[in-house]
Every structure is written in structure tokens, then in C-alpha cells.
Amino acid sequence: MIELKNVNKWYGEYHALNDVCGRVEKGQVLVVCGPSGSGKSTMIRTLNRLENIQKGDITVNGASIYDPRNDLNKLRASIGFVFQQFNLFPHYSVRENVTLSARKVFRMPAREADELAESLLAKVGLAHKIDAMPANLSGGQQQRVAIARALAQRPPVILFDEPTSALDPEMVNEVLCVMKQLAAEGMTMVVVTHEMDFAREVADRIWFMDAGCILEDSTPAEFFSAPRHPRARKFLEDVRH
């Protein structure tokens, strides 16, 4: 479904992604881990062109996302993205947050958008908060609204960049539970996370990144029992401590 072909990105002089190659198959959950500054956010943000690349190509369902005929707003709206900091619009209700791009970018009629918001919020356990404002929700609830919003376009894939790192510990599980449910339903997901229990339980593949490269592309069984690269071994020890 997603293929990265020799992807290279520089921030000025800094080579942030160094010949990154990889594939994500339909229905797979890919977990991306690695030390701070290794390029995880940069990599995941290139998948819907929140960051541009200077060399290489990225295809989604066989079509290059760099094809000049692509409408960038539509491309971004059609690939779900869930950020660490939720990024809900504070002056819009939960209902409006979930349906905003369906209505504005895809011109969905209001009635249909309302039904969509109701069903997606029920799915993430927040039907009763449909008319709440984001400021009146807990972090875990806000992140579940952000997931409902990401689902609103029926995206072929959802990208998550550290979706639980900004949450208080007691709220991490409610968000991971929703993500596990999506995975079980066959959603294709790319998840940058340090939640190694989630990775072990849910991931089909794990990429370990360091210094802008993918050093390991393994199954969880391989990665956790016998990481090949010394830096991956050190990373796992650090996370365990």
C-alpha cells in the first residue's frame, strides 16, 4: 500500500532521511521506533507530504504522492494523521472537529456529516461528548476525538506520531485500546511509538531507525528476541529501564 523508494531528505545541510526504503502492506500495522532525533517524525510526515523530500519517491496504492496532479489538501485530508499534541481546533466542538474536513474539503452534506460524527464517536467511546468543546475533555478523550477525526475520510491508512506520549499514564491505555481495535478491524497503520508492549502485541513489522536510516525491518518476534543491530539492542535496553 505504501512504498518508500530511496527517500532522502535534508534540512539545510542536515541529512535527515538517508536512502530510506520500505513497504507497508494493506492491513499491516508498522511500528517505528528509535532514539530521539533519529528521523521518525520526519519519515512519517513525508508519507502525507507534511514534509517534502528532495530525492526518491513515495507511492500510496501505486501512485506517487509527488505527482503534480495531486491536490495537496485532498491528499493530506485523505490520509489520517494523529499527532502527539492532538491538534484539535479549540473553538470548534467535538462534532465539528470530526467532520470539518469531510464538510470543507470533500463537501459532505451536513446531515451525512452528523451521522458520520455520531458513528465514529461511538466507535471511540465518546458518543456522549459530541457537543463538548475540546478544552473540557481529558487528554485521552481529546486523542480519541483526534482518532475519530482521522477516520472520517475512511482513509486507506492512518499515521500516528507518538499518540500517547503527551498523555498522563492513566490515559494511555484508553487510546491504545482504540488503536488495537482499529488494527483488529484491518486498518493499515503506521505508528511511531515507544510503547513496546503495543509493538509486541499489535505490530506486523517493526522499523528501528537511527540517524535517518532504517537499521532494522523485522517482525516483533525477531526484533524483541534477537535485534540484529547493536544500536537496536541498546535502544531496547534503555526502553526497558
Cα dihedral across residues 208, 142, 119, 48: positive or negative: negative
The β-bridge relationship of strands 205-210 and 29-33 is parallel
Instruction: Establish if 9 lies at the interface with ligand ATP (CB under 6 A).
Output: no
Residue 36: contacted member of ligand ATP, Mg ion, none (CB under 5 to 8 Å, by partner type): ligand ATP
Whole-angstrom Cα distance, residue 17 to residue 34?
A: 13
Of 239, 235, 227, nearest in space to 195 by CA: 239
Q: Which is nearer to ligand ATP, 55 or 104 (CB)?
A: 55
Position among 11, 138, 184, 233 found at the interface with ligand ATP (CB under 6 A): 11
Given the rule CB under 5 A, which of 23-31, 39-47, 85-93, 122-130 is the region that contacts Mg ion? Answer: 39-47
Residue 42: contacted member of Mg ion, ligand ATP, none (CB under 5 to 8 Å, by partner type): ligand ATP
Given the rule CB under 6 A, which of 22-30, 40-48, 146-154, 195-203 is the region that contacts ligand ATP? Answer: 40-48
Of 111, 90, 87, 85, nearest in space to 99 by CA: 111
**Beta bridge partner(s), residue 177:** none
Instruction: Establish if 52 lies at the interface with ligand ATP (CB under 6 A).
Output: no
Q: What is the largest CA-CA distance in the chain?
A: 55
Question: Where do contacts with Mg ion occur on this chain (CB under 5 A)?
Answer: 41
Which residues lie near ligand ATP (CB under 6 A)? 11, 14, 16, 34, 36-42
